[in-house]
Amino acid sequence: MRGIASQPRGIARLARALGLDSNLLRRASDRDVDSGIASGEVLGTPTLFIDGAVHRGSYDPAALLSTLAR
C-alpha cells in the first residue's frame, strides 16, 4: 500500500475540510513513500530523516535535540 492511500478515508475528508486538495495530498504522500523505498534507508515506520540522513537513534527529546545540534 502507498502513503495516504493506505490510510483511512478520514484523512481525505479531513484534508478537504481544511481546504486542501486531497488528490494533491495523496500524490505527495505517494511520492514520499516511493522516495523512501528507493533510498534503501526506509526499513519500516516510523523512519525519521534529519537533514536528509536517517536518524537511527532513539526518538526521545534529548536524543533528537542532540542530533539536531550536530
Please report which residue ranges of the chain form alpha helices under DSSP H: 9-17, 22-39, 61-69
* pLDDT in 10s for each residue of the chain, 70 residues: 455 555 557 777 888 899 988 888 888 888 888 888 898 888 888 888 888 788 888 889 998 888 888 8
* 8-state DSSP, 1: -
Residues in the chain: 70
Round to whole Å and give the CA distance between 17 and 20: 7
- Domains of the chain, by residue range, sit at 1-39, 43-70
User: What percent of the chain is modeled with pLDDT above 70?
Assistant: 89
Provide the pLDDT for residue 57: 84
pTM of the model: 0.55
Provide the pLDDT for residue 67: 85
> Which residue type, as a one-letter code, is found at position 65?
L
